[in-house]
Structure 1
Amino acid sequence: MIHAELRVTAVTDVTPGMRRITLTGEGLADFVPLAPDQQVKLFFGRDGRAPRMPEPPADRDPVTWYQRYLAIPAPERPWMRTYSVRHHRPDRREIDVDFVLHGPQGGEGPAARWAYAAGPGDVIGLVGPALSNLRTAGAPDWKLFVGDETALPAIGALLEDLGPDEHALVIAEVADGDEEQPWSSPARVDAHWVHRGNVSPGRSTVLVDAVRRAVFPPGEVFAWVSGEAAAVRAVRRHLVADRGVDKRHIAFTGYWRLALAQDDGLTTEDTAEREELQRELAEERGA
């Protein structure tokens, strides 16, 4: 895990609502990838200032690191958000991070507002990487990737990492056709885009409905599901209860929660979900 101060070198619009920020810095020399869907913590300074980063603990203990972050006085404490790494170019000490722009001026969130206004030379902080999911695929017959636009960077990286003999089904929710992205993968990929139209993100059922209607290929599946937490839970319940997918073959993460920010505490459902996953993982390790 690295603690680095990075600067923006390029800004590119992938779609009207998705902006790619290229970041570089000497700290990336020690960036060791963990998985295609790895995540990093990004730190955004307040009032246009460079973020005040927590001092890295000598033992690299993540709990200690987070305590140091919380110890920064509130007026100086940077906003912290979790993002996927879309591309990593170790020879150039660069990473790409894709940001969803939530409406005009980036919306209300500090990360999207920063991405909306970001330009070359702007400074951001990074801690990571960390695993997005605690489950990985074994040797399934095919893979299922499900998510909304917040999951697209990780899905894109996962597809690029597949082998030529693999088969993947992608079901992805976006606002409209302008937000669809081309996939690049050596595998055989069947992509199904669903549009929620004018319905606000997190308030549409189109993603869950599309998974329920989907015709699955034969054989054993490994499913990767991420996006809004309630939708992720609904998809997972359907896969287990209606499709008979083994829970051990589903990697799932609620990337965001409707009407709640990352700074907000865990809901009862969040806590129950985490406890259930920890029990399942403990059982798997003991098997």
Structure 2
Amino acid sequence: MTTTAAPATAPFRFFDVHVVRSRRLGPAMLRVTFGGERLDELASGGRDQRFKLFLPQPHQDRPVFDDLGEGWYTAWRAQDPAERAVMRSYTIREQRPDSGEFDVDFALHGAEPGASPTLSTPFAQGSAPLTAGGPASRWAAAARPGDRLTVLAPAVEDNGGVDFRPPAGTDWILITGDETALPAIAGILSWLSPGTQAKVFIEIGHEDDRQPLPTFADAEVSWLVRGPATAAHHEPVLDALRTAALPAGTPYAWVAGESGTVKAVRRHLVRERGFDRRAVKFTGYWRRGASEEDLLAELTAGAAAAEQD
């Protein structure tokens, strides 16, 4: 199977992009295609390639920055929160360098323009104010061709925004996640070498959120549909793992999704399944009751405290 070492370099650059088109993938997922100048310089590493997406405030037609140089983060933090761009982390679902486009799949988290559209009809743009979901979900649900954003994305394929890196000696792959991890899971499966053994558990909110997941790997995919009445009390991925028959040999696990579920899955794999901690890559893509601003504030405070210590 394919293995990769840690990246030697990790340069990222700012790119101005615009919406080319969007289409609904299912009740909870929307794909937005972006275009822009210099996108031939954007170099996705595939797999779970993440990048930073910057949204304008509702009264702006594009994100506003005071600095796009090496000190961008400090300058961004210092901006008036009502004026600075809304920053979110997303996965590059697919890049097409020849056409200067890339796709990003958004989990909508209930963001709807008016009544829920059917899968065969486009969004009724501007039909009603969007109140559900977070800023990125609301933006995606209302996105129109020409809408402008800024992204901070990799300029080399081997970059620090790719986490899926099974080490040499791995015999099989375990992948778990929810809707927010689905774009990364799709990217990982399309990247795996022929014959790689993989067990995949994906939690979704509706049967129609299933997607084709092309892969050359020998992958067994389990779709776990949570019921709306029990969503707050059950953990479909963890429940499925507890009873799953897993392959023999040395595993590598990639675990993503809601932070609490991710931690519970990691504990199960390490304590009950005997996985080596170093062979479990886990990432909380979101946390119940917390925005990315909350998480960034916690991270910044933690870093400041560490420096003082």
TM-score (norm 2): 0.80
| Letter of the 1:96 counterpart | D
| Letter of the 1:39 counterpart | R
CA distance in 1, matches of 2:52, 2:66: 12
How far off its partner does 1:108 sit? 3.2
| Letter of the 1:77 counterpart | R
CA distance in 1, matches of 2:251, 2:20: 40
CA distance in 2, matches of 1:179, 1:110: 21
CA distance in 1, matches of 2:176, 2:292: 21
How far off its partner does 1:131 sit? 3.7
From 53, 56, 74, the counterpart of 2:65 = 53
- Are 2:254 and 1:229 equivalent residues in the alignment? no
The answer on whether the counterparts of 1:133 and 1:253 sit within 8 Å (CA) in structure 2 is no
SS at match of 1:230: helix
From 81, 86, 92, the counterpart of 1:79 = 86
| Letter of the 2:13 counterpart | I
Structure 1, unmatched stretches of 5+, are 276-287
The answer on whether the counterparts of 1:135 and 1:248 sit within 8 Å (CA) in structure 2 is no
Q: Aligned pairs, how many? A: 267
- Are 2:18 and 1:7 equivalent residues in the alignment? yes
More helix by share: 1
Question: What's the Cα RMSD here?
Answer: 2.3
How far off its partner does 1:54 sit? 4.8
- Are 2:291 and 1:261 equivalent residues in the alignment? yes
Change (3 A) 1:37 1:200: farther
Aligned to 2:171: 141
CA distance in 1, matches of 2:231, 2:79: 33
CA distance in 1, matches of 2:78, 2:231: 34
CA distance in 2, matches of 1:201, 1:251: 25
| Letter of the 1:17 counterpart | A
Q: Is 210-219 or 144-153 further displaced after alignment?
A: 210-219
SS at match of 1:6: strand
How far off its partner does 1:35 sit? 4.5
The answer on whether the counterparts of 2:27 and 2:208 sit within 8 Å (CA) in structure 1 is yes
| Letter of the 1:118 counterpart | A
From 211, 225, 238, the counterpart of 1:181 = 211
Structure 2, unmatched stretches of 5+, are 1-11, 114-129
How far off its partner does 1:17 sit? 1.3
Aligned to 1:163: 193
Counterparts of 1:238-257 in structure 2 under 5 Å?
238-257=268-287
How far off its partner does 1:69 sit? 1.2
